[in-house]
Structure 1
Amino acid sequence: MREYLLTMCVTAAVTYLLTGPVRKFAIAAGACPPVRARDVHREPTPRLGGIAMFIGLCAGLLVAEHLSNVGKVFTLSDEPRALLAGATIIWLLGALDDKFGVDALIKLGGQIIAAGVMAWQGLTILWLPVPSVGNVALTPIQSTLLTVTVVVVTINAVNFADGLDGLAAGMVCIAGAAFFLYAYRMWYGHGVEEAAPAALFASILMGMCLGFLPHNMHPARIFMGDSGSMLIGLVLAAGAVTITGQVDPDRVVAHAGSVRSAVHAMIPVYMPLILPLTILAMPMADLVISVVRRTWRGQSPFQADKGHLHHRLLQIGHSHSRAVLIMYFWSALIAFGAVAFSVQSSSLVIVLIIVLLSAVGLVVLLLPRYNPQIPTWAEGVVPPRYRRRLAARPGSNEARRLGFNGSTAVGERHRSVRRNERQKADSRP
């Protein structure tokens, strides 16, 4: 675990430290496109944040290669090298799109090439565990086509989710954390060494996102652009592919004693297929809805619009920060709920907790204007809009002096009164 934490911290540190210089480079290079009609930010913001994330990925792989335990992944398999090759292709394609703009079909072709290169170098799905049938071995053509499909769909799902400040990086970080827990348990908890690359990829992915998030939280100082969103989508897909197609189910069965006990104790036969879907449930749902919506209107599925899930949250009244937190909540609930269910599939407590949290999430989702009353002792750790202050005491003397009647935004009223007082003071002789 310490080596994984070290790899994650190094990746995060390199990404964080390089994002500032990359921002200056993006401004100097002119990678600050004007605000479009579908954008939610108000000022041109530099892109190319994927440069720092890619260098962080390389740093994480370099450090991991020289560690005693994690370094065995590089000697026992070619999957880290396959990931680096595919990541380089997808990052270069995204950087060109951030600077010059690339046609959607060309980007799709580049994504297929990157996924094909990874499959060609060994990062591929070799078999599928099918319920009531068992393990179905795939032919090389079937394996390559399925791998490419999974990678391309995941890349575009993450790319579609990159619409609000900090949204894509945060959701992918949550997905990476859930995937790391599952892969780490498979390796150290049940002796499945083939799960080691997935755990490594997940730790590096978390580091990339954590290092970039401080620069990308609302209001964002830099965007990751396609060079970053497609990159983290590819890394997440690589982890899903390697744990699905490289982990030998027969070894899991041998460790558990029988197929029945393996399924009930670990759910190893079906969970590798289910977990990637649950981790990407929110981006995948957004992707499917967007494609159906645009096709129904007679538009290209790749034509951008303001109909994504995060846009709809803004339309019904949620603030930017709250919309992002809601997406975080549902992503974490689905991803970690699936991981918890894989550990204790027969536990009623886990089901009740998931149902309770889902109810809480629905209440928050349907009440966009509701501001929770935060205790006074917790005001220092919450955003200013949730602090009690004048908003919680509309009848106080200060509120009356400012003319606060409970319906006017106290912040705007306060600024207006202060501005009038300064003007009167300046006009006095």
Structure 2
Amino acid sequence: MIPFALKYIIVVVSTMIVSIIATPLVRFLAFRIGAVDNPNARRINKVPMPTAGGLAIFTAFVLGTTCFLAPIVTHVQPRGTYLEYILPVIIAGGIIIATGLLDDIKELRPLPKLLGILLAAMIIWFFTDFHFDNFKIPFGGPMLHFPNWLAFALTILWIVAITNAVNLIDGLDGLVSGVSIISLTTMGIVSYFFLHDSNIYLTLTVFVLVAAIAGFLPYNYNPAIIFVGDTGALFIGFMIGVLSLQGLKNSTAVAVVTPMIILGVPITDTVVAIIRRTLSGQKIYEADRMHLHHRLLSLGLTHRGTVLVIYAISFIFSLTSLLLNVSSRIGGVLLMIALLLGVEILSEMIGIFGENRTPILNLLRFIGNSDVRQEYLAKKRAKKDERQEADK
């Protein structure tokens, strides 16, 4: 008899092969249906590029879970068979794929895209147990249990927020694909080894999704021959949002923080974009060229170098999340402080908050440079003298 571990490896490899085969077919289809990114002021590509690469990822994921994985998962948990577990997720993912595909072809306005994501999120709420119904305050705080109406709102909000956050970082070849592989792999490791009352279905699903994305990545890595598109970015973001809910409702305090850290790159980029646009008087949904990848490119990094730097940042977030699960409470707090301080300093150094918005760097200059201190104190004295003269 073949051991389950070997069967599962065959499933993962088969899923990757399906993705490798499906991607050129999707590329051919994208040209035929008009799912093409044409160069403009905001896009990096210089020539028309086929998009909707998420169709290949979705196809591989669906076959991997329903045709390859479901038949070998014979253990039935209280929630039911694996097929019953994954079917609502696939249906919801199909709605996301349809929404993204329409956007790749016709460039939908924000409201129709949001409605598609909301519909998919509500399917998750009504037909699965991926609910944001309780939350453990990290590092010694109490366990919060939410009423049904609040749990519904938080679940929908989390899925919509993560879906859009991942979509926002889709600006360079291989960026979403690579970052999501790093994040999902970490999520799979955490779900298997560290989550209290871990659900093995979650771990199995995560690595099948990783395989589907990994098969697509060689075509999408710079120089890409196909983009992941909104079809793929929305689907990947949606799946990460849905699957990460398992950690948010976990009774282990560190497990609550873990998915947020794993998703550090898209969450940080989104939060900083909201802060930056608010401070600049822009609407928060207005596009700009101040995202992390834009700023790294403006500093002189190559396309591929920028992607590799963001991969490294994502890896640091993921490594931190793993360290949190084996750290003491004090160690975890210190790790979080160091991570937040590092994120702030990096953000200020590359200028993604905007021009002259560098409070931490200014403080470090004041502490570490006597000339800066003398200049600051001289300005303070001059202003004081001016006020005194004005009072006379």
TM-score, with normalisation over the residues of structure 2?
A: 0.78
Computing the radius of gyration from Cα coordinates, the structure with the larger value is: 1
In structure 2, distance between residues paired with 1:133 and 1:280? 22
Deviates more, 1:305-314 or 1:135-144: 135-144
Any stretches of 5+ residues in structure 1 without a counterpart?
250-267, 368-429
Opposite residue 106 of structure 2, the aligned amino acid is F
Equivalent residue, structure 2, for 1:28: 32
In structure 2, distance between residues paired with 1:328 and 1:116? 32
Equivalent residue, structure 1, for 2:97: 91
Deviation at 1:74, TM superposition (A): 5.2
2:149 matched to 1:144? no
Equivalent residue, structure 2, for 1:252: none
Equivalent residue, structure 1, for 2:162: 154
Deviation at 1:80, TM superposition (A): 1.7
Whether contact under 8 Å (1:15, 1:55) holds in the other structure is: yes
Opposite residue 89 of structure 2, the aligned amino acid is L
Deviation above 6 Å: which 4+ runs of structure 1?
none
Opposite residue 68 of structure 1, the aligned amino acid is V
Cα deviation, 1:254-302, whole Å, max 9, x if unaligned, reads xxxxxxxxxxxxxx2x123201110111111111122233344444322
Whether contact under 8 Å (2:247, 2:258) holds in the other structure is: no
2:324 matched to 1:324? no
SS at match of 1:343: coil
SS at match of 2:223: coil
Equivalent residue, structure 2, for 1:303: 286
Equivalent residue, structure 1, for 2:132: 125
2:50 matched to 1:67? no
Opposite residue 315 of structure 1, the aligned amino acid is S
Q: Which residue, 55, 58, 75 being the options, matches 2:59?
A: 55
* Alignment size in residue pairs: 336
2:277 matched to 1:271? no
In structure 1, distance between residues paired with 2:17 and 2:219? 13
Whether contact under 8 Å (2:158, 2:241) holds in the other structure is: yes
In structure 2, distance between residues paired with 1:70 and 1:45? 44
- Distance change in 2, residues 1:294/1:355 (3 Å): closer
- Distance change in 2, residues 1:27/1:230 (3 Å): same
2:158 matched to 1:113? no
Cα deviation, 1:321-365, whole Å, max 9, x if unaligned, reads 1110110011111112211320244798xx89x989x99xx99x9
Cα deviation, 1:115-138, whole Å, max 9, x if unaligned, reads 111011122123222355533222
Equivalent residue, structure 1, for 2:277: 294
In structure 2, distance between residues paired with 1:304 and 1:128? 33
In structure 2, distance between residues paired with 1:366 and 1:141? 42
In structure 1, distance between residues paired with 2:182 and 2:59? 21
Whether contact under 8 Å (1:7, 1:203) holds in the other structure is: no
Equivalent residue, structure 2, for 1:413: none
Whether contact under 8 Å (1:90, 1:111) holds in the other structure is: yes
- Distance change in 2, residues 1:341/1:296 (3 Å): closer
Cα deviation, 1:364-420, whole Å, max 9, x if unaligned, reads x989xxxxxxxxxxxxxxxxxxxxxxxxxxxxxxxxxxxxxxxxxxxxxxxxxxxxx
Equivalent residue, structure 2, for 1:165: 173
Any stretches of 5+ residues in structure 2 without a counterpart?
351-392
Equivalent residue, structure 2, for 1:393: none
In structure 2, distance between residues paired with 1:301 and 1:16? 37
Equivalent residue, structure 2, for 1:343: 326
Deviates more, 1:40-49 or 1:126-135: 126-135
In structure 1, distance between residues paired with 2:290 and 2:55? 29
- Distance change in 2, residues 1:207/1:139 (3 Å): same
Q: Report sequence identity in percent.
A: 29
Deviation at 1:68, TM superposition (A): 3.4
Q: CA RMSD in A?
A: 2.9
Equivalent residue, structure 1, for 2:213: 209
- Distance change in 2, residues 1:345/1:34 (3 Å): same
Whether contact under 8 Å (2:73, 2:82) holds in the other structure is: no
Opposite residue 125 of structure 1, the aligned amino acid is F
